[in-house]
Structure 1
């Protein structure tokens, strides 16, 4: 008997769970906008040197010192490229003129992040991902101490406030600082929303609910394309994707704190109130009198005894099974994010309208995730996780052998690769929440997801390797996915297995121990 049995008694996946999961998932429509926003707010518009009175032909980063009228009159394509070196050039002393066909305004055109300053464009995304990484570390640990609901509410408020303020940034430095802080809040929203979903959902429906709720993120990619196309101004777009979080902040007070977490933090009275509330909403009022404080604590007696100690990140690697889980998940999270953002963060390279490309990249996720849902349900988490990563590697490697002039084929393979990495993300969020115990679940989620943020920060830098060899970035992305795909098969299977609440539970479930040893294990880890 455990908490899962109590959930079934108060209605299983009833009206409360449906409302709860829906409200937690709706912000996902704009979470994709946060991570992929740089494709539009930092889009690179066509540009050339501003030339007073247009006394020369246009160049992107330099201009001719003297007017070269004969180049305008002659057939420029017939002139050998080496001839251009005979003309004296200088830097763009009067700034740049930007093409406003695709973007009306971006941070690139706002602060002239072109030519020698072009690396600052990618730096802004790296800084944002650094904030996401920091948030995973900070908010992961804090939510295990102060609760999932409190940290989620704060994260909504921080994202709404600082994200909206970013639109009024007077300088590039201010913009980067605010994006860093926004990134921290994004981690807080994602990690705590996942745990609040998982910890209120019965065992049998976790797979379906986890996968379906991820479609909000997928659909959000297409929402981003629509909003960006409608506005085309980075400041307006920034407000449009951040201000709605004030609404999410207001209704988030309706959420119920995780009863599992409350019990394990010796707040059983509050947990009982939430269980009674769930029973009432689910149409099971008769259960309110039957489920008393004694019943609740008797169901979770072992977990309560084991949770009396203090847990730190060290506990994630202190025992054999926990160490194996953490090390494997670190590799899986890194490679999934590494490959995903390697494909998704430079849409302009495909030569297709960037707004259309964003929609295509979003649409391909639907069949990929539906396939993942079937695999998660019937084959399990381990096989699905490993297969998605290996298939993404196949698509990335296949693109190496496709000629550059076959752009449609290369785009198709890239979309398929992105679809498999997206399905891998869906699986790893669910898988991680099921592998780590309640007493340290958020710390674990924060710990391993930091590797995803490192992967997302490293992905743009790898593109520089194409100067050494054009195929090298794809080899690196694909190689990382292969390694992670193999490593995923070393993780324990969690299909239809109740959530573990203590470290002792984890050791018992996935090691061959005698009953007495299992009991002692749970007690020992709770008394550290």
Structure 2
């Protein structure tokens, strides 16, 4: 909206008010990471075999080893089969020892688990093994489905009723259903509760991003957004320590959920977006918030500047269809959606498979978290120097290349595979942070929530698919990494079709988006001249106009 950036500069673009806001919104980001990836540890595979205690009825003095040797077949590696057993017989123990058993069948009386390291997991409590082993991965996809539903609901709803109420509602969902999941009596109940937690997480992620973007000035916008991502990465490192210390999945779920209750004082201190209030015609509320921000920042907004707010016309909120009405916005929407899809697909694909790279899962998780902190912080530095478009493309290309190289590495080289996975995680984490900044700047205010929400929907689709792609490894171990590697390379090429938004003011109306798009295309040489060449003076005037908007 014309004049808002000038008023925000007068109030302080990144003063004490904005810094406190960013810090407050970083706390939910920290907690979100624990919720998102805790199931990686709650569902750790545990060594198991069929329960064959039937033989003790006829051979009470058998040792454990003798029992297993007589009742369980061995696989081609020489270890006991996990999902089959010899069919029980009515012979005496001497006959069994002399002739042996040959007929096999699936486990009939449940399984016996090695709980020496993991006290209780989803696997051991709900028997998610053998014919049900895919259910753990599918449950991760259902959690990601919750993120998708949250994006569909809370993206448009945030544009209609505001950013603040959605954040508070999402925190409530995360607390109530997260704690409830810790007491789930059945696996399907646990999955349903986790799905609702995912809905709440999505609401927080989208509205945190938009609220910060709309309160912070142009120069500090990327910093403010990525700082919350750094807290997300810190949460990943903390999760590694919590999971190492807490080997009961119910207690880990409870410990990850209860701290959300500590942030419910937000109901009194989290402000609404002044920019959003202006677009809704609520000028007096916006004025009070801007004056409050200026007071906290020890700044003064000239009275004549505030008076200009009364002359602003109400801008109707856009909808999803507005993203496709103009050619420029349509292209931005489609490419942004694909970028988010790829980032999510690869990010969750690597993160959820942290235990499949051959090294200790807790150590690998700790390294992944530390590397992600560096990736997020590094994104701040490269964005300031090279802009959004080049950085997004470079990170996607590097991450995809690392995953493609993994497909050519033998499985008996776990250290090398882990190093390449860390490089891939570093690049994609950085790319993900950049995409948050980039998307929030590409879409105008009246459809920003819808644009970011639709992009988030695409990301959630990637998150849903990622665990399922991991299951393709049962056919060939290289298939998942081939997919995780090829899709980012394609996305990197598409980045060059987007406009650059570095150091540009936020757009408020969809018409402005078309002007800025045309300006960028002209600057980058994509604009086709029809009859005459545009003079350098006309080009400069066009750039000045788009910057002012």
TM-score under structure 1 length normalisation: 0.90
State yes or no: 1:235 paired with 2:257: no
Look up the SS of the partner of 1:48 in the other structure: strand
Partner of 1:365: 372
Give the conservation status (yes or no) of the 8 Å contact 1:331–1:487: no
Say if 1:29 and 1:223, in contact at 8 Å, map to a contact too.
no
Q: Specify the SS of the correspondent of 2:117.
A: coil
Q: What SS class does the counterpart of residue 63 from structure 1 fall into? A: strand
Paired position in structure 1 for 2:72: none
| Contact 1:166/1:178 (8 A) holds in 2 | yes
1:51 CA displacement:
2.5
Tell me the equivalent position of 2:409.
Answer: 402
Establish whether residue 56 from structure 1 lines up as the match of residue 71 from structure 2: no
Matched with 1:349 is: 356
Match of 1:274 in 2: 289
Query: What does 1:38-187 align with in structure 2 at a 5 Å threshold?
Result: 38-52=39-53, 53=56, 54=64, 55-57=67-69, 58-65=80-87, 87-187=102-202
Matches within 5 A, 1:14-33: 14-33=15-34
Q: Which moved more, 1:473-482 or 1:421-430?
A: 473-482
Corresponding position of 1:439: 446
RMSD: 2.5
Of stretches 325-334 and 208-217 in structure 1, the one that deviates more from structure 2 is 208-217
Q: How much does 1:288 deviate?
A: 7.2
Q: For residues 172-211 of structure 1, what are the structure 2 equivalents within 5 Å?
A: 172-211=187-226
* Residue aligning to 1:426: 433
Indicate the residue corresponding to 1:295 in structure 2. Answer: 308
User: d(CA) in 1 for partners of 2:195 and 2:44?
Assistant: 19
Q: Which runs of 5+ in 2 are unaligned?
A: 57-63, 70-79, 523-537
- Asked if the contact 2:51–2:110 (Cα under 8 Å) also holds between the matched residues in 1, the reply is yes
Q: 1:227 to 1:467 in 2, by over 3 A?
A: closer
Distance apart, 1:366 and its partner CA: 2.6
Of residues 90-99 and 165-174 in structure 1, the stretch that sits farther from structure 2 once superposed is 90-99
Deviations 1:277-314 (A, max 9, x none): 11111112x4375653x23245xx3xx35x14x52100
Aligned to 2:331: 324
CA distance in 2, matches of 1:124, 1:280: 48
CA distance in 2, matches of 1:181, 1:371: 33
Distance 2:93 2:16 in 1: 74
Q: How does 1:210-225 map to 2 (within 5 A)?
A: 210-225=225-240
- Rounded Cα–Cα distance in structure 2 between residues aligned with 1:291 and 1:45: 66
For residues 227 and 30 of structure 1, what CA distance do their matches in structure 2 show? 13
Offset of 1:255 from its aligned partner? 1.1
Q: Contact 2:141–2:468 at 8 Å: present in 1 too?
A: no
Does 47-56 or 453-462 show the bigger shift? 47-56
Gaps of at least 5 residues in structure 1 are 74-83, 523-528
Deviation string 1:424-474 (CA, Å, 9 cap, x unpaired) is 110001111111111111111111111111111111222333344432222
The range that moved more, 163-172 or 61-70, is: 61-70
Match of 2:344 among 333, 337, 352: 337
How many residue pairs are counted as aligned between the two chains?
499
Where do residues 409-488 of structure 1 align in structure 2 (5 Å cutoff)?
409-488=416-495
Q: Distance in 1 between matches of 2:485 and 2:349?
A: 10
| More deviation, 186-195/29-38 | 29-38
Contact 2:341 2:458 in 1 (8 A): yes
Higher mean displacement: 130-139 or 499-508: 499-508
Structure with greater Cα Rg: 2
- Displacement of 1:45: 1.5
Q: What is the match of residue 505 of structure 1?
A: 512
**Matches of 2:436 and 2:127 in 1, distance apart?**
38
TM-score, normalisation: structure 2: 0.86
